[in-house]
Amino acid sequence: DLCPVTGTQWHTFGKAIHALSRIGDELWLDPMVRGLALRSVNSAHSAYACFLFSPLFFQQYNLGSVSEEGNETIKCKLVIKSVLPLFRCLSSIERNVKRCQISISAPCDRVMIRFFCRHGTRHRNLYHEVVGLCTTFFICFR
């Protein structure tokens, strides 16, 4: 479970998702011991971007089924067009949402994003596509 708290954190998290939407059509969630990585790669696999949010960024960061050594990792692929509307109006989210909970369930192949609003209402969105992503980096020094 991941819970970003303050308005600044909402703004930063939302801006990262908006930036990744300009790279590719898929958003990869990669929870690790070092933090939560948000990644995107374009369809030609020629551009790649990654934002790594430290566990200190979140009010609560619980990996649950991910091992401490990092041998068992959960990598989730989501269609970015289905996630983007959740973070479309960041100023409205800052005013109305008290907290957000992001849960990734490996056995159920499910990502759940829950918004807890200031007036007691809850909004929940489920995503069911979970696939792995492997990247290879080549660094050239000239």
Of the two residues 76 and 128, the one the predictor is more confident about is 76
DSSP 12: H
Per-residue confidence (pLDDT) for residue 82, from 0 to 100:
85
Beta strand spans in the chain (E): 26-32, 35-41, 48-53, 76-79, 97-105, 110-117, 122-127
pLDDT, tens digit (0-9, with 9 covering 90-100), for 79-93: 888 888 877 776 666
| Domains defined for the chain, CATH in brackets | 7-127 (3.70.10.10)
pTM over 0.75: no
